[in-house]
Chain A
Amino acid sequence: MNNDNPIDGTSSSDALTHNSAGDGGGANQREIRRDVLAPFIAVTAWIVPGLGHLVLRRWGRALIFFLAVGGLAVAGYLLRGNVFPPRIGEPFGTLGFLADAGAGIFYLLSRFFETAGPDVSRAAGDYGTRFIAAAGIVNLLSVFDAYEIALGRRTM
């Protein structure tokens, strides 16, 4: 895996060197380009787990995050975990929704996988709820990671 950043065609270490050397317009343009594109990368990474890393050519991470987030979410749905709908005014429900929605497209796919609806009267359904929330949290971690890589703050 390389450190090339497709946003500006440089490696992260190159970019840092340029920035610290202050080579004028080129470095500034790259900085602006990164600042503009990094949020786009973050949104992409949120919508489809791993896609942000794929755009950044981090193939390994892209595959790992897609499989981990997808595996957690689908396992949670098949265990008939509870999927929190968007609801305002209920703190725990809102937190649950934020965690679940972190899984991006997998949150929207819940209705296809969990046709029988949630069943938290059994332990399996309760586990499923945690799996779904964990999928969202893991994806949010991957979003921050992709964002940092896109900004050139993270070299690994």
Chain B
Amino acid sequence: MIANWAEVVNAQAGSPQISHFSAMCLFALLISVALAGLTKRTASERVKYAASCFLKFLAVGIAIGWLMYPFSH
């Protein structure tokens, strides 16, 4: 069943389209959640840490993107 579902998704996707920003957000979200689970104990601490980590990931990613901007021209 999983194989069939994956085949359908792959066939439909063909060439999956995802923006750089979306990929960064997804990556940052999943890694932030994992790090929060690893380092914090209570649910509230985890939510706060994951949110903080996620925003920092985005901030650093965007900052590095702008730092590289001059080299792309």
Residues of A within 8 A of B (CB): 1, 60-61, 64-65, 67-69, 71-72, 75, 77-80, 109, 112-116, 119, 122-124, 127, 130-131, 134, 138, 141-142, 145, 156
Contacts and interface: CB of A to CB of B under 8 A. Distances in A.
A109 B2 contact: yes
Nearest to A79: B16
Nearest to A156: B41
Nearest to B41: A156
Given A65-B34, A65-B37, A122-B15, 8 more contacts: A64-B34, A64-B37, A64-B46, A69-B34, A71-B30, A79-B16, A123-B20, A124-B17
Interface stretch (B5-13, B51-59, B60-68): B5-13
Interface of A is mostly: helix
Interface string B3-35: 100110111011111101001001100110110
Interface residues of B, number: 28
A67 B33 contact: yes
